[in-house]
Each structure stands twice: as C-alpha cells, then as structure tokens.
C-alpha cells in the first residue's frame, strides 16, 4: 500500500493564479481531510469529506474548494491564490473506527 499520496510536493504560484492539489489513498478509507500547517499555529482543518459524495467546511475554508472525486481521491483547489495561502498542506484519510493517516505534504509558496 502506498498509503496517502499527495502531488505536487512543492509549488510556487503568483498571486491570482489557480491550482489544484491532489490527494489519493489506497486504504479504502471513508473520510478524507485537508489541513494547512503554519508556523506556531499547528494544523488547521480546511475541508473534510466524511464519505464519498459529501464535503464539509472546516475551520479555515475561505479561498478554497474541494472535490471528493471518488472514494480514493480528494482534491483541494485554490481559485485565486493569495500570499496568505503560503503554507504546507496535508491531506489525511481515516477509516470508520481508526485514526488519521497523513500524506507527506505539499509545500506551497504564493508570491
């Protein structure tokens, strides 16, 4: 099993550009999550998907959209990137009764 994979690993965007961060898991987990990690602030939940076909806002959803394409894939889209979205983005997945498994992260810089 590859676990949770994320692409790309690194990305630099200019303000106003758009991009999609991809996440996939091969563990047949129901729930998937997107977090951002900023220095001194821990992890903050952006969006989550409790099951295929559903998505819900987390703590900091503004400026982001998500798609739960199927059970395996959960993507995060930045429509118009801003410097405040410079961060490390983590995807995680979780089965019904177990804890979260994290991907390796995407380091995004918006200039």
Partner 1 sequence: GEDVEQSLFLSVREGDSSVINCTYTDSSSTYLYWYKQEPGAGLQLLTYIFSNMDMKQDQRLTVLLNKKDKHLSLRIADTQTGDSAIYFCAVRSGGYQKVTFGTGTKLQVIP
Binding residues (CB under 8 A) for partner 1: these are 4, 31, 35, 40-45, 48, 50, 56, 90, 92, 99-105
- CB of residue 42 to partner 1, shortest distance in Å: 4
- CB of residue 64 to partner 1, shortest distance in Å: 17
What is the distance between the alpha carbons of residues 106 and 109, in angstroms, rounded to a whole number? 10
For partner 1, the closer of residues 17 and 86 by Cβ is 86
């Amino acid at each position: 099993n590859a676990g949770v994979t994320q692409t790309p690993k690194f990305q630099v965007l200019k303000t106003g550009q758009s991009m999609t961060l991809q996440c996939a898991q091969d563990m047949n987990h129901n729930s998937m999550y997107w977090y951002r990690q900023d220095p001194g602030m821990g992890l903050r939940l952006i969006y989550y998907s409790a099951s295929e076909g559903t998505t819900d806002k987390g703590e900091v959803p503004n400026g982001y959209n998500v798609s739960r394409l199927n059970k395996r894939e959960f993507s995060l889209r930045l429509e118009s990137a801003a410097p405040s979205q410079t961060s490390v983005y983590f995807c995680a997945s979780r089965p019904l009764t177990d804890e979260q498994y994290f991907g390796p992260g995407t380091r995004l810089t918006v200039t």
